[in-house]
Amino acid sequence: CEKLRIHAWNTPLLGKNRAAARSSSEFDLESARAPLFPCAPSDPIPLPGPGVLSGGVISVADSEDTLPVDPKMNDADVSKQIQQMVKFICQEAEEKANEISVSAEEEFNIEKLQLVEAEKKKIKQEYERKEKQVEIRKKIEYSMQLNASRIKVLQAQDDLVNGMKEAAEKELLHVSHDHHAYKHLLKELIVQCLLRLKEPSLLLRCRKDDLDLVESVLHSAKHEYAEKANVHHPEIVIDNHTYLPPARHHHHDHGPFCSGGVVLASRDGKIVCENTLDSRLEVVFRKKLPEIRKWLFGQVVA
């Protein structure tokens, strides 16, 4: 082998030394790593003699400041090795670039899939939210329509019941036409008021048209009350200054009216018993309304 000089670790290789170092350290890709030096593996490497090591530099006598170069290699071989090395580096770079590209593609696909799934989830949530809103609106509309239908039904029922009441009020106008029956009815109404009030002195009001009939039955009414209540005959004064309103002649009359009957009150006016035909119809109608509704509509409505 050639004698060589080994520089300190911090000594750079320049010029021909660097080119020789590159050419001597190249690998032949097709010859499976040739040895760095052209000597046989069994040949011993000359060691420096005594006193040669100095200042971190090992010197070998009679050697040049170059790395060993195969004297058989010409410029074409060196160029070939350089091209092989460049090819190897390019291949390594291409493989590394492919790995980076594949890795980037995988990361892109993963991130893309995540974004797509996130957007799908967001769209699904938005769809579910809108679907719930639609269902809520449908329920509200259904409830409103149902309530409106119920109100219409109740209104129709009320109109029918009120129509029956108006028909009964019209019938009350004919009660006073039969003087004999109406005279007996007035007596019974006066007795009922006396039994309810149980006052010794009372004031009576009636319609002006019924004044004669009331005066004709007043004495018998007081006598009947005295027998039933076991008291003395009460003092009853007919109010000739204020009369009950007359009967309603037309259905569309909105003023006060009275179809018949009497009103009795204590002399101080604190206790009043209204026993007119209209008030009795109102009491009976209100009391019998559940039965009327059941009879008309098949159910009890409070």
pLDDT, one tens digit per residue, over 169-186 is 889 888 988 889 999 999
pTM: 0.53
Which residues have a Cβ under 8 Å from the Cβ of 207 and sit 6 or more positions away?
243, 244, 245, 246, 247, 258, 260
Mean pLDDT of 17-30: 43
DSSP 207: B
Share of the chain above pLDDT 90, in %: 57
Mean pLDDT of 195-215: 93
Is 1 a residue whose pLDDT tops 90?
no
Instruction: For residue 70, name the pLDDT band (cuts at 50, 70, 90).
Output: low
Measure Cα distances from 241 to 154, 204, 205, 236, 267 in Å.
45, 11, 9, 15, 15
CA 206 to CA 185: how far, in whole Å?
Answer: 13
Which domains can be identified in the chain, with CATH numbers? Answer: 16-102 (no CATH), 173-297 (3.30.2320.30)
